[in-house]
Chains A and B, each alone.
Chain A
Amino acid sequence: MHTAFLMGNEAIALGALAAGVNLVCGYPGTPSTEVLETVAKNRPEGVYVEWSVNEKTAMEMAAGASYSGARVLVTMKQMGLNVAADPLMCLEYIGVKGGVVVLVADDPGPISSQTEQDTRHFAAFSKVPCFDPSSAAEAYAMAQEAFAFSEQHGTPVFLRPTTRVSHGYAALEVKDPEEYEQHSPSGFEKDPGRWVIFPRLSFANHRKIEERNEDLSGLLCESPFNRMETGEDVPAPRKGLAAGGISYTYALEAREQLGGIPLLKVGVPFPFPEKLAVNFLRDLDEVLCLEELDPVIERNLIYICGKYGLKTHILGKQTGHMPRSGENTRDLVTDAVASFLGAPRKTETLPPPPPLPVRPPVLCAGCPHRASFYAVKQAMKGRKTIFCGDIGCYTLGNAKPLEMVDTCLCMGAGLGIAQAVNHLEPDRSCFAFVGDSTFFASALPGVVNAVYNQASFTLVVLDNSTTAMTGHQPHPGTGRTVMGQVVDKVSIENVLRGIGLTFVETVDPLKLTAAVDAVQRADAAPGVKAIIFRSPCIALSRPTGRAAVNPGKCIGCRKCIREIGCPALSFAEGKAVIDPGQCTGCTLCAQICPADAISGGEHHA
């Protein structure tokens, strides 16, 4: 054993390695991404790791690996689970041979996601048991436990951290590689009665799954992850807390300040540890539930009260004692517990500060997406248009002054939206923007659909040769794998031409005139057209220089600031100023300055 300072996600990765995981696959998504990256960085000989093209493929890989007796970890964020739902729902009915741990990171807030969906519901829906860690230390323990649990009970297992657990750091005692369990896959054995899903098999297995989960509910009452912490004797009404995930640690902190009332910790919310909960509730009059996202513990306790005829009042999100959305904080939980105990906290309030700066996230200085959006905007000025955006850094193209994202739904959705609008309004110029990683992950069916069904729209692929928003992962177009192999690039151009597109042009967006011209020609052409704006992510390529404003030449018109919104540009004493700490020398501002006042920098051709 040794001590290491680890992020929750790193702890999960090391836990999986300690359990002898053989294959790890997934698709990047905040807050889950570091799990797979950490496995790749620390992987012992013989462990296979890949970034799969999307979560559905990753889940299918997991099935194949498990059929062969391998232990497998598949990683994604909660939105990705929707993409992987089809194979996972079926895999639960088929069952597993090698342990399958499905790491799904939920994102209360949401901080970096479209929805606040709760994987604990997905667990109940898919009938897949769910481990819900409250800290990095517990995540490390659960990651190891989950593989054996999966094999023992023949089911995939969810490991579901939330953002603060995934991205919280702690000093942890972890195993040395020599202490890792060794697990050798037995290999695939033909057994059609087991691996081929048919209605009759599903009928038989459905019953077995329900019975198994009932048994597990009992078994999990003994798990160290579910437990009761008894409290001091207090007069009636007798009150207690029930908590899961990071909120459990907030509850512990609140108890230290406010007194140690009984606390039920739910670390495995599905199958719910019913008997344990009954024992807990039996002696209490009121219980306050502390959890994020949906009231899962709360509803389970209400159900248990009904089932066992208990009179305990269950308070939480449904009774207005806790907020219905957003993440919990230490203060929110301490305030709620204090009020619950009848002694609301008094807080010292500071005088209000001066108006604080508003800082929505923005495209980085020098980001080539800014140039791409600006080129399309200029090319289509005055036309009737729709700009369908997608998920990634380029979602930030919605902000002022670009305002180039009219819609954003989920990965790949912009293609379907653009086509539908085109069918209904043939005179509107429809554009769908998609990143390079998203192109491979979820845009291809949309392109085929458009060609087949005779839609007319322009697909704009923003190709910066990386999956930038999640922290720069390689993908099929980059020619590198997460294991460091150099491989043939899958060519976006060839894929599109293969589908039948005839207008496919690749342009450097930082050459503004050529970029605008390409967009205008694409828009004028019939059918499905594609422009690939190719320029590397600025966070990965070294700045080639810095631009500077010549104050003698600057006429103070603010055009550079007003039109492109680069965070390196500001205005002081009647002149534009460039912050040398941020500027990457992309020259976009220089190309639009009417006074030729900006010089320096060169773009990365």
Chain B
Amino acid sequence: MRKNIILCGVGGQGTVLASRLISAAAMARNIPVLSAETIGMAQRGGSVFSHLRMGEGIHSPMIARGEADLLLGFEPGETARMLPFLRPGGQVIVSSRPVTPVMAALSGEAYRAEPMLDYLKAQVPSLLVVDGERAMREVGSPRVLNLILLGAALQSGALGLTEADLLEAMQRLIPGKFYELNLRALRWAGENK
């Protein structure tokens, strides 16, 4: 199996943990993994991404244009930004909930998710839109979008991993008191098809 996955969003949305969970799950199955994260200034509300590559014979942790099998988008605009990395026929999973940039709030121009989602719909045959707003409300925390999207990716089959793989990784990487909450988030997509 060889897979290239890009996670993208806004600093603070929890992309790094999601990427670590996928890597840990792949490693537990003895699949070689390379990944790269945005660390530093951009984590303060800037655009962030993780590149994650699994399989044999990979040299660089970075993914090139047209190479990603799965684009896991935490934010519609950020997902549109990263779309050139998707390979033809690749899967996109995106949360429909926009994060308004401070610049837009200040200038008073509206920032809306719809044009971004329409653009994605027009370009991507296999697009899965997750109602991130509703999911977080139902799971009961504004900070679990990462596990909600991971659950959707799991359902889509594009991860190439099983729920058991991820659960084992979650037990190792997520502190006990947050485990139940994150488990509910992971399973939300499966229960709300």
A and B physically associate = yes
**Contact (Cβ within 8 A) A581 B143:** yes
**Are B46 and A361 in contact, with the CB atoms below 8 A?**
yes
Cβ A363 vs Cβ B44 within 8 A: yes
How many residues of B are counted as interface, with CB atoms below 8 angstroms from the partner's CB atoms? 54
Q: A357-B77, A364-B44, A570-B100 are contacts. A562–B116 as well, Cβ < 8 Å? A: no
> Which residues from B are CB-within-8-Å of A171?
23, 27, 32-34
Bound-state CA distance A580–B33 (Å) is 36
Q: Is the CB of B81 within 8 A of A393?
A: no
Mask, A563-585, CB within 8 Å of B = 1, is 00111011100000001111000
Q: Does residue B128 face the partner (Cβ distance < 8 Å to A)?
A: no
Cα separation A158 to B133 with both chains bound (whole Å): 49
A363, closest chain B residue (CB): B44
* Cα distance A357–B46 in the bound complex, in angstroms: 10
Q: Which of B24, B62, B84 has the most CB of A within 10 A?
A: B62
Question: A253 near B: Cβ within 8 Å?
Answer: yes
User: Taking A353-B119, A356-B81 as contacts, is the C-beta distance between A170 and B104 under 8 angstroms?
Assistant: no
B36 near A167: Cβ-Cβ < 8 Å:
yes
B residues less than 8 Å from A359 (CB atoms):
10, 45-47, 101, 103
Closest to A470 in B: B40
Chain B binding surface, main DSSP class: mixed
Q: Which one, B36, B37, B39, B104, contacts A30 given CB within 8 A?
A: B39
Main secondary structure of the interface of A (DSSP, over half): loop
- Of A250, A360, A401, the residue contacting B60 (CB under 8 A) is A250
Pick from A357, A361, A566 the residue with the most CB of B within 10 Å: A357
Contact flag A361-B45 (CB < 8 Å), given A171-B27, A331-B64: yes
Given A170-B33, A357-B77, A361-B11, do A571 and B108 touch, yes or no (CB 8 Å)?
yes
Contact of B62 among A250, A354, A580 (CB under 8 A): A250
- What would 6 A/B residue contacts be, using CB atoms closer than 8 Å? A5-B24, A164-B36, A350-B84, A358-B101, A364-B44, A581-B142
Contacts of A561 in B (CB 8 A): 105-106
A573, chain B: closest CB distance, angstroms: 11
Task: List the A side residues contacting B65 at CB < 8 Å.
Answer: 331, 347
Residues of A within 8 A of B162 (CB): none
What residues on A are CB-neighbors of B46 within 8 Å? 359-362
Closest residue of A by beta carbon distance from B26: A171
* Docked CA distance A350–B85 (Å): 11
| Nearest CB of chain A from residue B10's CB, rounded to whole Å | 7
Tell me the A residues contacting B by CB distance below 8 Å.
3, 5, 30-31, 111-112, 135, 163-164, 167-171, 246, 249-250, 252-253, 256, 329-331, 334, 347-351, 353-354, 356-364, 393, 396, 399-401, 469, 558, 561-562, 565-567, 569-571, 579-582
From known contacts A249-B60, A361-B41, infer whether A168 and B116 are also in contact, taking CB-CB under 8 Å.
no
**Distance (whole angstroms) from the CB of A347 to the closest CB of chain B:** 7
> In chain A, what residue has the closest Cβ to B47?
A359
Interface contact B62-A164, CB-CB below 8 Å: yes
Residues of A within 8 A of B27 (CB): 3, 5, 171
- Check A5–B59 contact: CB distance below 8 A: no
Residue of B nearest to A246 (CB): B60
By the criterion CB–CB under 8 Å, are A30 and B40 in contact? yes
> Are B101 and A112 neighbours in the complex by a CB distance under 8 Å?
no
CB contacts (< 8 Å) of A5 on chain B: these are 20, 23-24, 27, 33
Bound-state Cα–Cα, A353 to B123, Å: 10
- The chain B residue sitting closest to A252, CB to CB, is B59
Q: For A354, what are the chain B residues with a Cβ–Cβ distance below 8 Å?
A: 80, 115-116, 119
- List the A residue with the shortest CB-CB distance to B136: A581
Name the residue on A nearest B60 (C-beta). A249
The distance in angstroms between the C-alpha atoms of A571 and B101, with both chains bound, is 12
A334 to B64, CA, bound (A): 9
Q: How far in angstroms is the closest Cβ of chain A from B93?
A: 18
- Set of chain B residues within 8 Å of A558, measured between Cβ atoms: 108
Q: Which of B37, B84, B136 contacts A167 (CB 8 A)?
A: B37
B29 to nearest A CB, angstroms? 11
Nearest residue, chain B, Cβ from A355: B115
Instruction: Point out which of A3, A331, A348, A351 has the most chain B C-beta atoms below 10 A from its C-beta.
Output: A331
Among candidates B63, B108, B123, residue contacting A351 with C-beta atoms closer than 8 Å: B123
Cα distance A501–B142 when bound, in Å? 47
Residues of A within 8 A of B103 (CB): 357-360, 400
The residue of chain A having its C-beta at the shortest distance from the C-beta of B115 within the complex is A354
Nearest 6 A/B pairs, CB to CB: A581-B142, A112-B40, A249-B60, A330-B64, A361-B44, A252-B59
Residues of chain B lying within 8 A (CB to CB) of residue A163: 40
Of listed B44, B47, B102, residue having the most chain A CB within 10 A = B102
Q: Distance in Å from the Cβ of B164 to the closest Cβ of chain A?
A: 19
